């Protein structure tokens, strides 16, 4: 239920205080109501994109930071974007794209939802921060672009989001990794390209997926720096060598970025034991990690990509 401050007549979200500030936090959509003119700072975080099935990590939700903004008495709709849904493999032999998160809006400003991760040989989706590009043959696919407005012409308002990198390329029975999703504070890491080489024991050398980009830090909610809009980690992929009996592990997935980004599978496991991608953290807009890769002889199948984290709106003002 909304919290009403009787002294100030300010309503909406969950109210907390620290130092000389009052904070209204919206974890879901609602209305911010003020009965008199008010100067506020606010933070908007969109929903993160979900990680792909065998491909790139989800992009972090776009972030908008505004300070010293004058609001006139009235009602202000608050829309909190949800994270992109989990990417699920519809068959046992097809990989799948991640989904883009939903936008967050307040006071005519918009944080754009993070882009979904690109499946194998497919580009990541455009979003507040772009989804990582999938690995491909012979070249990796492009990362998703950013559609986040920077609000460069608006005083004391800044939007944050980054385009993502390419996934790794390969040719033949070799290794590669997909790109991590980008974060509001920086680009995700590109996927590693395959080398086509084997080590001295005859086991393939495996690379890893890219790390998700880090998010943006803010002290608005509690006075302590918290991070928002981190990107999800990309999938580590290792070709099975078309039945090579010495191939016993697959590539390592990338870590999620600081700010709620979900990991892809971190450890090298035997074929057939890959893990789903980790979800982006709710209330941070983190991108989901890509689902891992299972190889069985000449075929493969992927695990579920992690969902994107839901966004948040934080409004702060000096306590009356």
For residues 264 and 51, is the Cβ–Cβ distance under 8 A? yes
Residue 232, domain extent:
1-320
For residues 192 and 224, is the Cβ–Cβ distance under 8 A? no
Residue 180 confidence (pLDDT)? 83
Distance CA 242, CA 316 (A): 58
Residue 265 confidence (pLDDT)? 73
Residue 135 confidence (pLDDT)? 83
Residue 198 confidence (pLDDT)? 32
Q: Which two tokens stand for residue 162?
A: 């980054």
Other beta carbons within 10 Å of 249: 17
pLDDT along the chain (320 residues), means of 10: 54 96 98 97 98 91 98 97 86 76 98 94 95 83 95 97 82 63 87 44 52 94 97 74 38 81 68 77 96 63 88 96
The tally of domains found in the chain comes to 1
The model carries a pTM of 0.89
């Amino acid at each position: 239920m909304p919290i009403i401050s009787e002294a100030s007549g300010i309503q909406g979200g969950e109210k907390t205080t620290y130092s000389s500030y009052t904070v209204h936090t919206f974890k879901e959509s609602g209305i911010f109501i003020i009965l008199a003119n008010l100067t506020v700072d606010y933070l908007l975080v969109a929903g993160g994109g979900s990680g792909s099935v065998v491909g790139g990590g989800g992009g972090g939700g776009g972030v908008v930071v505004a300070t010293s903004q004058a609001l006139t008495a009235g009602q202000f709709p608050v829309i909190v974007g949800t994270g992109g849904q989990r990417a699920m493999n519809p068959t046992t032999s097809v990989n799948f794209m991640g989904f883009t998160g939903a936008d967050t809006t307040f006071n005519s400003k918009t944080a754009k939802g993070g882009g979904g991760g690109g499946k194998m040989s497919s580009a990541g989706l455009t979003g507040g921060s772009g989804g990582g590009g999938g690995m491909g043959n012979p070249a990796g696919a492009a990362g998703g672009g950013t559609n986040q407005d920077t609000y460069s012409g608006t005083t004391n308002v800044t939007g944050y989001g980054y385009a993502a990198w390419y996934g790794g390329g390969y040719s033949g029975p070799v290794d590669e990794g997909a790109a991590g999703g980008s974060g509001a504070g920086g680009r995700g890491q590109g996927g590693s390209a395959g080398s086509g080489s084997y080590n001295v024991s005859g086991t393939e050398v495996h690379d890893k997926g890219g790390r998700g980009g880090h998010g943006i830090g803010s002290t608005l909610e509690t006075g302590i720096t918290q991070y928002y809009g981190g990107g999800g980690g990309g999938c580590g992929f290792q070709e099975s060598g078309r039945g090579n009996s010495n191939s016993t592990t697959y590539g390592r997935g990338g870590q999620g970025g600081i700010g709620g980004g979900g990991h892809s599978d971190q450890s090298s496991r035997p074929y057939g034991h890959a893990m789903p991608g980790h979800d982006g953290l709710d209330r941070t807009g983190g991108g989901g990690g890509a689902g891992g890769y299972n190889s069985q002889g000449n075929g493969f199948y992927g695990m579920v990509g992690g969902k994107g984290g839901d966004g948040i709106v934080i409004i702060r003002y000096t306590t009356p």
